[in-house]
Structure 1
């Protein structure tokens, strides 16, 4: 069974970009594109994940759009609540600031900042307990793929969080498959390879939770307008986690449009 009836998600991960003036212009351009030709919410959820310092400003700017655009945090603390934890932003603080969505487990957090499963589990648990929706990222390296370990690695990453997610919380998780070798490299998994992995992820999720058939599974890895239509046509690819292309309003709009047109 495919996830083709699931409303797609297109989320722009700005990473450590851009400067304030450029961010403001980017948001204005994107909102204008939606004004010119709207993408209705029923056909596609759209979100933007800015740097932490810009979360509330982006949230306020997006309120002026002609449709809901979600503001997504790029990370969350492994520590819950408030306290003497310099530099941290807890799930409760995000929720208190009307930031209801968060990325957890992005490959850059795993690879560059050495976030191990225990840390990611704490982040997932805290985010869900605070009422956030988690976009949980999974993916394999080129070495793991070439060694024939891609499915094993990705499914293990799914299983890692099962211990901290209760039955009711799975509906508040979106999975993003991002092959590490395709992130920021210009390389993209073929639609056939991406669909095969997404189908395997859905199968794995369905063995863990009754929500498995209803969960959105996004593709991330050099998504751009040129490949979005083909990716959107795959039954188990329910949207995109967009990196570099989300820093261009027209490119990001075209990607969202491609997925919305599958509905």
Structure 2
């Protein structure tokens, strides 16, 4: 069991799922599980990231959860403020609607939507300037890992954002390490491999910010109840960004319990 002063985070990334009826049932089932087996807020920070058109409905439903369960946006615009940008949602608009957390840099955004460092930096800068907390995703491909480049790739992704993050803004960033080869594949980095990368990320952060020792670094990539306890026991793994397993209330609750029990 790890002993850390960092409160763990467990965030469910629903991606482009589910339909409305299933989303409402998922939230209802999760709230019931929290009633039957509470997870103290000081033991674990909880969040879910629904599709954009469900942000406000999810936020409203979670207000009756009995404890804070944050609503997280899956994305935001590289454009700030308001204006004639059809289809875009800015950081300022998210904040105005009470959404205080946002994912940036997920490998699916990088790979499928060609979001490079310049685009991601614009999004991060907008989010931080609007007062949002950013969950910044980093990770390497299987080819990069097999070529021995995993550490260099991930640390470069961390360094990429340093140019747009002011010194005091690092406390509003959570890092999520997601090896691309483990996302949605059923494959998971071994706890030892994940811990090694997390430790390297923290060492890299120490070269950039004085907040490195207090920043949460989450693991993502086929996290499920069966591996959550082992992952949670690693000292530099401070939570999980959960994909498919977050679409099942019981699985998501069990993962959250695993990380809450480290405190």
Provide the TM-score with structure 2 as the length reference. 0.99
Matched residue, 1:106: 106
Give secondary structure in 1 for the equivalent of 2:87: coil
Matched residue, 1:14: 14
Question: Offset of 1:146 from its aligned partner?
Answer: 0.2
Matched residue, 2:258: 258
In structure 2, distance between residues paired with 1:185 and 1:209:
33
Question: Offset of 1:188 from its aligned partner?
Answer: 0.1
- Tell me if structure 1 keeps the 8 A contact 2:82–2:90: yes
Matched residue, 2:69: 69
Give secondary structure in 1 for the equivalent of 2:137: strand
- Tell me if structure 1 keeps the 8 A contact 2:3–2:262: no
In structure 1, distance between residues paired with 2:139 and 2:23:
28
In structure 2, distance between residues paired with 1:176 and 1:5:
18
Question: Offset of 1:4 from its aligned partner?
Answer: 2.1
Matched residue, 1:123: 123
Matched residue, 2:162: 162
Matched residue, 2:137: 137
- Tell me if structure 2 keeps the 8 A contact 1:3–1:236: no
Matched residue, 2:29: 29
Cα deviation 1:73-120 (Å, max 9, x = unaligned):
000100000000000000000000000000000000001000000000
Matched residue, 1:5: 5
Give secondary structure in 2 for the equivalent of 1:136: strand
Question: Offset of 1:5 from its aligned partner?
Answer: 1.6
| RMSD, matched Cα | 0.8
- Tell me if structure 2 keeps the 8 A contact 1:9–1:238: yes
In structure 1, distance between residues paired with 2:97 and 2:69:
16
5+ residue gaps, structure 1, are: none
Give secondary structure in 2 for the equivalent of 1:234: coil
Give secondary structure in 1 for the equivalent of 2:11: strand
Question: Offset of 1:3 from its aligned partner?
Answer: 8.1
Question: Offset of 1:37 from its aligned partner?
Answer: 1.2
Give secondary structure in 1 for the equivalent of 2:236: coil
Provide the TM-score with structure 1 as the length reference. 0.99
5+ residue gaps, structure 2, are: none
Matched residue, 2:200: 200
In structure 2, distance between residues paired with 1:163 and 1:4:
29
In structure 2, distance between residues paired with 1:115 and 1:227:
31
Q: Structure 1 pair 111/3, CA: closer, same or farther in 2 (3 Å)?
A: farther
- Tell me if structure 2 keeps the 8 A contact 1:3–1:237: no
